[in-house]
Structure 1
Amino acid sequence: MTPPTGIPDRTLFWGMALSQLIGWGTVYVPFPLLVGPMEAELGWSRVLLNGGFTAGLLASGLAAVPAGRWLDRHGPRAMMNSGMLAAALLLLAMSLVHQPAAYVLVWVLIGVVQAMCLWTTAMAVVVAEARDVTRTVTAITFVTGFTATLFIPLTGAMIDLFGWRGALRALAALQLAGFALTVFTLRQARGPVPGAMRRNGPGLWARLQQPAFLGLALCFAAHAFISTGLGAHLIPLLRERGWPEATVLLLAAAHGPCQVAARALMFAAGRRVTMRAVGRFATALLPVAMLALALGRDSLALTIVFVLCFAMGDGLLTIVRSAGSAEILGREGFGAISGALSAVSMLPRTAAPLLIALVWEGAGGYGPVPWMLAAVGLLAAAGFIAAARPR
């Protein structure tokens, strides 16, 4: 059903794409670049610095469902606008920290803010407002796919020029631009449907127990484990295989362009494909990619197959996570449902780098890791197939 007049799709696309690019580029992407200079100046351990970041991720997961429920009840304007403004203030606060407790507290609050205004909530707004959800989400992912490409060198340059504290203040100023974009975009947002929370349909807890939700939860949790784990370990895994450094970096860097290419094909296909079909294809690519990685220890060709399959599956699942969930579960109450899916994925997302490191240490190398990831990929595919089954 086409939603009533609200934010035009073009405005929704540009506003959400640019505000999300800035939001993730200021509060998430810069962290690895900040660790070194913060460690050098403050004398804190790397465990503490990473622990604060992890606490923020966990806080984001815990806050996702309440944020989604607020969105369903009250609409997006107050929560997203205040979240984007709070993100700028928290970046400024981070630039002033001198005590570990304050550092961890700021990261926890940043995690709450992420749940209020970044990807999960933004995509719930797109699902509620867009006339063509799939094409709008796909177009937004084109822009946000360049977040790291833009903000890693930008943050590095700002650290070189201003130091890490000055860089955080500059990022806070950029985040204010994201706040302004969000205010402009949401000025035409529709409010919640009157009486929406009093409908006779199943409540949130009942919906969370439905087979379709459980299948999607399994799929996205497994995908989060794979993508975060490989994000932390792919380069050392490839180095262990003895490839030249230039080859290792080229293989790792190819992930982004392959993601964008898959999304471009998805955008071109338009309404000729359903999200169920795209999800089945994308999740099937995950175990294929991991098997190619497992079998391709001495084969550059199989390693390239891994890169292509994993990047395509990863890129498409970003779209399926929003548009596919809406197609399978429906738009009603999608804020809370999307928040629940995000919360379920948070533990595997935060645990994956540590668990893979423990496997590496126990095995004396990365040998078992691709086989483990292939099994997790099969779980993702099985979960989506179960969720997409007609009912």
Structure 2
Amino acid sequence: MEGSVPKAMGRSEKPASDRRLVICTAIGQTIGWGTLFAAFPLFGAPIEAELGWTRTEFNAGLTVALLVSGLAAIPAGRWVDRRGGRWLLALGGWAGALLLAAWSQASTLPAYWAIWIGMGLVQATALWSPAMAVVVIQARDPVRAITGITFVTGFTATIFVPLTALLIDRLGWRDALLALAAMQALPGLLTLWLLPPDPPRDRARGAGGFDLGRAMRQPAFLSLAGALSAHAFIGVGLGAHAIPLLRERGLPESSVILLVSLHGPFQVAARAVLFALGRRVTMRGVGRLASALLPVAMLLLALAPSEFGWLVLYVLAWAMADGLMAIVRAAGVAEILGRDGYGAVTGALSMIAVLPRMLAPVAIALISEGEAGYGPVPWLMAGLGAIGAACFAAAAAQRSR
């Protein structure tokens, strides 16, 4: 298909099927995001109650981790380019297990924050960007492999939020963390068992003098950075504020929870359609659609009456955009910018998106406090979504030329 991700990826032989790669990465990423990210908010209340920390002090741990992960993203990407990612993913996963166990014993803020500095390094080495770099390097059909992986990872919160809540209720927060640490040991074992050995250094992608600075100055890179940063701000902002924003509309609590819960299934449905279309679509086309849906979803949120049926349309549009952009962020970067230095390039994109990810929850909270409600927030996100759509269209046009 026109503009599809090129087949040539280095000189190492590829397996006859991507099945082992997809299974390993899907399970590893679901567990990793579940234990190291999705479960985090559930520990706030019991830790604050036992240790007397404020909500700001507790959440500062995740903020520090996001900052560190952004700073470490480029070195981690370069490592995958030059040496492969098998051992990086395995060791990062095991480090995450050790840090979860250490967190279960923490009783002081300095120790807690130090643990989350380490968690930032784990996120940079064991979660999405390096894992997708490995998939892009090793897969015979990266787009279908990444789409297959996201079928499973789309249910991360659906699995780990209730599971973690149950563990905390039955075991207490400290033993719940130990249980999560035991689960987090599994991705490293799967990585070493299922993934092929890393290629020799002289055969790894990016070993031959890739110029990241030059790549980052390309208009297509800058446009992609703008598009992904807009998506990051909206995604993290809604993740932190969707429930109180919908509650403000006067909906029953059951309707609020149901609307938020529909996000995952709608995401997976959009990915299933993409998987079925296969090579009949390009990542540029998918990215244009997904980025255009972002402002549409936010306008629906701003304008829809406070009725469940209308707000389902907002959830559908937002979930489709969010679900497809996760794939575009991995496979679309390779299609638009190429595979040379893919790990370093995606690391740079992750680093740039760290600031909007960190600012979104605080900025939206400040707006809601200053305006005594969330009224302006959907309009702000619609504007950012429109900017993101324009940026992605510019990146896709650069690739077309």
2:388 corresponds, among 367, 374, 380, to 380
2:97 corresponds, among 88, 99, 106, to 88
Q: In the alignment, is residue 351 of structure 1 matched against residue 324 of structure 2? A: no
Per-residue deviation, 1:301? 4.5
Q: Distance in 1 between matches of 2:354 and 2:121?
A: 13
Unaligned runs of 5+ residues in structure 2 are 1-6
| Structure 2 CA distance for partners of 1:189 and 1:70, relative to 1, 3 Å | closer
Q: Distance in 2 between matches of 1:193 and 1:388?
A: 32
Counterpart for residue 162 of structure 1: 171
Q: Distance in 1 between matches of 2:153 and 2:175?
A: 25
CA contact (8 A) 1:68 1:339 kept: yes
Letter aligned with residue 331 of structure 1: R
Q: In the alignment, is residue 122 of structure 1 matched against residue 131 of structure 2? A: yes
Counterpart for residue 317 of structure 2: 309
Letter aligned with residue 291 of structure 1: L
Counterpart for residue 35 of structure 1: 44
CA contact (8 A) 2:77 2:346 kept: yes
Aligned length: 390
Moved segments of 4+, more than 4 Å: 195-200
Q: Distance in 1 between matches of 2:261 and 2:307?
A: 18
Counterpart for residue 264 of structure 2: 256
CA contact (8 A) 2:36 2:96 kept: yes
Per-residue deviation, 1:297? 3.9
Q: Distance in 2 between matches of 1:128 and 1:282?
A: 25
CA displacement 1:346-376 (0-9 Å, x = unmatched) = 1101110110111111111111111101000
| Structure 2 CA distance for partners of 1:313 and 1:388, relative to 1, 3 Å | same
Q: In the alignment, is residue 245 of structure 1 matched against residue 256 of structure 2? A: no
Q: In the alignment, is residue 52 of structure 1 matched against residue 61 of structure 2? A: yes
CA contact (8 A) 1:6 1:189 kept: no
Per-residue deviation, 1:304? 2.3
Counterpart for residue 337 of structure 1: 345
Per-residue deviation, 1:198? 6.2
SS state at 1:259 partner: helix
1:66 corresponds, among 72, 75, 79, to 75
Unaligned runs of 5+ residues in structure 1 are none
CA contact (8 A) 2:86 2:197 kept: no
**How much is the aligned-residue C-alpha RMSD, in angstroms?**
1.5
Structure 1 window deviating more from structure 2 (238-247 vs 121-130): it is 238-247
Correspondence 1:277-292 to 2 at 5 A: 277-292=285-300
| Structure 2 CA distance for partners of 1:225 and 1:109, relative to 1, 3 Å | same
CA displacement 1:322-361 (0-9 Å, x = unmatched) = 0011101111110000111111111101110110111111
Counterpart for residue 218 of structure 1: 226
Identity %: 54
Q: Distance in 1 between matches of 2:61 and 2:38?
A: 15
Counterpart for residue 175 of structure 1: 184
Q: In the alignment, is residue 147 of structure 1 matched against residue 156 of structure 2? A: yes
Letter aligned with residue 245 of structure 2: L
Per-residue deviation, 1:154? 1.3
CA contact (8 A) 2:84 2:204 kept: no
SS state at 1:188 partner: coil
Per-residue deviation, 1:280? 0.3
CA displacement 1:50-90 (0-9 Å, x = unmatched) = 01111011111111011111111111123222111111111
Q: Distance in 1 between matches of 2:79 and 2:107?
A: 34
Per-residue deviation, 1:18? 0.5
Per-residue deviation, 1:196? 5.4
